[in-house]
Chains A and B, each alone.
Chain A
Amino acid sequence: MVFGKGMKVVLWGALAIMTPGRKAFAQVLTNTSEGVLSANIPFGNLTPGNSTTPASTEIQFNIRSNNDNGYRVLASAVFNVAPTSSAQGGTTVSASDIGVGISSVVNGNATRTPRVDTVASGFNYNPATVAAVNGLTPYGGAASGRATLSDIVANPNTTILSGPKIANNQGINNQNNFLTVTITFGLVGQFFTPATLSGMLTLTIVNIP
């Protein structure tokens, strides 16, 4: 039995990818139960209140990487709003009204230290703790230090987090070899045009070559 040259390449490539610990699978992004991250953030009914505290919610996920050069977490997003009434001279909620920030990164016990994981400029804040001055959206965008979903919509595959090799292996059965990342979303309920809103944030972890 003789394999052609091209066949050998395909075969070794497949074996490399299937073998745990090889660099082809050097990074993994999961939910905190080690499953596929597919989370919902229901802001629910955003009835305007007499408060300067945004409505907020957060999602946690785990990242693993044993790539020697480290990892990056990329974010892309889409946002849709469906008005149920005409704007009548008012403002309709948009992606720029939703604050997005990485509010914490917690190291597992078996992660490599010392660590310098870097949250991208503008994403290093907690939208839940930003006061809505005068009851208006307090997030000015990444350039102002308070990123919004709009920053991600406008810039697909935005790097929001990066860092060095996380652990020597990336097996998801190991409960100490990952970073737990918390992303927090904030939105101030206002007298926006009646509408339903939805958005999807896609996170991808990639090796740094």
Chain B
Amino acid sequence: MISFRRLPVLLGAVLMLASAAFAQTGTITVQGQNPEAFSLTDTSGNTLSATISFVPVAAPANSTTVASDTATVRMRSNKAYKVSAQAGTLNTTGLGSADGGDTISLSDFGFGIMSVVNNGANVANNPGRADAVVSGFSVSSWPAATNGLTPSFGKKLSDITAATQVLSGPRISTKGNLATNNNFVEVTFGVATLPQYFTPNTGFSTVITLTMASQ
């Protein structure tokens, strides 16, 4: 026997079941992740693959001025960063006989950071950024040679045959991506050498690998 006192409760339950069968509401969940991001590119935002060229190498001259070249890279990050550099083996081609003389080596190349420009509108912690070049790697101008020999470079490629930290700093980019034209720090690296009467060769090369990572 049905108790009519409970009929409203029963009808209420029926109502709820009926409502559930005809959805009027739906949900969409949005999910994502902003990972830690560090980027070291060329000045177009593409993969860095720069060449520092000494070709043609000037013949030894009556000069104290070194030959030098630079490569400019753009760095972006959403976290404090550090940059390390490592030089590979110096390869030579067409190497003649040393015949008792010296052959050019990594220790004949100066290496350093010529400038750090960090004034973009979407650069974090600006003004007042504290990007720090490791002692010895900051180069305002190359030293002059004395007696026509390799000058006393602050740092040489032979100092970075293992991965060596050269730069660090706080978060760089407030936002934006690699296409953004004002959220990066632009760093110019330089390499220099003094043309000398080294053993003849038809070419030399080394690869300097720059790595950017979280502090």
Contacts and interface: CB of A to CB of B under 8 A. Distances in A.
A71 B75 CA distance: 52
A89 B177 contact: no
A41 B174 contact: no
B59 interface: no
Greatest chain B CB density within 10 A among A14, A29, A37, A137 is at A14
Contact of A48 (B24, B28, B76): B76
Contacts of A30: 23, 26
A135 B11 contact: no
A11 B12 CA distance: 9
Interface in B15-44: 15, 18-19, 22-37, 39, 41
Nearest to A170: B22
Contacts of A136: 122, 175-176, 180
B1 to A, nearest CB: 11
Contact of A85 (B24, B36, B76, B178): B36
A209 B178 CA distance: 51
Interface string B169-203: 01111111111111100000000000000000000
B23 A91 contact: no
Contact of A37 (B27, B30, B80): B27
Interface string A190-202: 1111111111111
A193 B171 CA distance: 9
A93 B178 CA distance: 17
Contacts, number: 216
Nearest to A62: B26
Interface in A1-19: 1, 3, 7, 10-11, 13-14, 17-18
A102 interface: no
Contacts of B125: 88-89
B4 A7 contact: yes
Interface residues of B, number: 51
Interface string A20-47: 0000010111110001111111111111
Contact of B29 (A47, A93, A192, A200): A200
Interface string A164-202: 000000001000000000010101111111111111111
A87 B36 CA distance: 12
B30 A192 contact: no
Given A50-B46, A135-B180, A191-B76, A198 B30 contact: yes
Contacts of A132: 177, 179
Contacts of A46: 32-35
B177 A189 contact: yes
B34 A199 contact: no
B14 interface: yes
B79 interface: yes
Contacts of B78: 85, 90, 191-194
Given A17-B18, A17-B19, A191-B76, A44 B32 contact: yes
15 contacts: A10-B7, A10-B8, A14-B15, A38-B29, A39-B29, A48-B178, A50-B177, A98-B30, A190-B180, A193-B78, A194-B35, A194-B78, A196-B32, A198-B30, A200-B29
Interface of A: 1, 3, 7, 10-11, 13-14, 17-18, 25, 27-31, 35-52, 59, 61, 79, 84-85, 87-91, 93, 98, 132, 134-137, 149, 172, 183, 185, 187-206
